[in-house]
Structure 1
Amino acid sequence: MDGNVVRTVFVAPDVQACGIGKLLMAEIERTARERNIRWLTLSSSVTAETFYVGIGFSAVRGSYHGDERTIIMERLLHDSPK
């Protein structure tokens, strides 16, 4: 994490869809709450967008880095300390 921005989270292809990504993101969210961060932002690959939507993120806008398209996504942490 860099402030409220999640920089990179990867799960090895041979163990995807086993719950590891959800566990990693839960730990990132726990850390964010401890730091009184109220929302998280990340840049998702097109293939990971469904995963992030499934854990509560919303697409904000598309972004391009050369030919590579990414989706900027955000999630409000409702139960963050005020």
Structure 2
Amino acid sequence: MDCVIRKAISTDAVAISLVVAAALRESNAQDYSSDIIEQVQRSFSPSAILDFLSLREVYVASFDGQLVATGSLDKDTVRSVFVDPSYQGRGIGRQLMATIESAASENGVEWLRVPSSITAETFYYSLGFRKVRDAFHGAERTIVMEKSLNG
């Protein structure tokens, strides 16, 4: 069965939180300390996800009926792209990003930005994003990247 991407709904909040936690603990843990992983994970509780649903365009990807990825668009910024580690490398993140880029373009966004984790920098680079600068949130380093949507 193919990957299905749709806008998230409130009943997805727990599953989204679980996908984020799995990705943080298995993928991002290679680049960040356990303290930073714990701090970031707290920002993605089911109640926090419900708040995001009212503030951003949140998308989810399902594979064989199981929610396996999420990502969101906050005006001109991609946020919170996570793929369950057991589904990484199957093109689901790319499909999710294509959906987010399309939505941004439809919203008139000319330059799309993403605050990338160290872990995801090469993924975004492969999609045409380029590094603008490093940003620090306490000890957490992110890489601010951007991409023109005008070709």
| Shared fold, TM over 0.5 | yes
Q: Does residue 42 of structure 1 match 2:114?
A: yes
Q: 3-state SS of the aligned residue for 1:18?
A: coil
Q: 3-state SS of the aligned residue for 1:40?
A: strand
Q: Percent identity?
A: 52
TM-score (norm 1): 0.91
Q: Following TM superposition, by how much is the alpha carbon of 1:68 offset from its aligned partner in structure 2, in angstroms?
A: 1.3
- Segments of structure 1 that go 5 or more residues without pairing to the other structure are none
Larger radius of gyration: 2
CA distance in 2, matches of 1:61, 1:33: 23
Query: 2:129 pairs with 53, 57, 64, which one?
Result: 57
Q: Following TM superposition, by how much is the alpha carbon of 1:39 offset from its aligned partner in structure 2, in angstroms?
A: 1.3
Richer in helix (by share): 2
TM-score (norm 2): 0.51
Aligned length: 79
Q: 3-state SS of the aligned residue for 1:10?
A: strand
CA distance in 2, matches of 1:78, 1:34: 12
Cα RMSD, aligned residues only: 0.9
Higher RCO (Cα < 8 Å, 6 or more apart) = 1
- Segments of structure 2 that go 5 or more residues without pairing to the other structure are 1-72
